[in-house]
Amino acid sequence: MASRLRSFSRPVAAAFLRSASARSPAASLPRALAPTPRASSLGRQVALARSLQPLHSAISAARLTSRLGAEVARAVSQETGLSVPR
């Protein structure tokens, strides 16, 4: 049984190695990882930045609101003599 497996696996492994060495490295990469032309890459990066802008704005607004709320609470507590940890 083991000899049959070895006799089958050797030609398969050799064929795989031949086909792998015949392909270029860029051709073996998935299309998402393959190098892209410079101009289209820049366009994609700009589009990505534009698509993330609403998310960035929402997060920034929430952080600012939270920070202002904490500052107001701290200021009010200092006026009334209460202690609010930072």
In tens, the pLDDT along 19-58 reads 655 555 555 555 666 565 566 778 888 888 888 888 889 9
The pLDDT value given to residue 41: 78
Give the chain's mean pLDDT: 72
pLDDT at 83 over 80: no
> Domain limits of the chain?
41-86
pLDDT at 7 over 90: no
Q: Tokens in use for 55? A: 């998310």
pTM: 0.38
Q: Tokens in use for 64? A: 């600012």
Q: Count of CB atoms within 10 A of residue 4's CB?
A: 8
C-alpha 23/C-alpha 62 separation (Å) is: 51
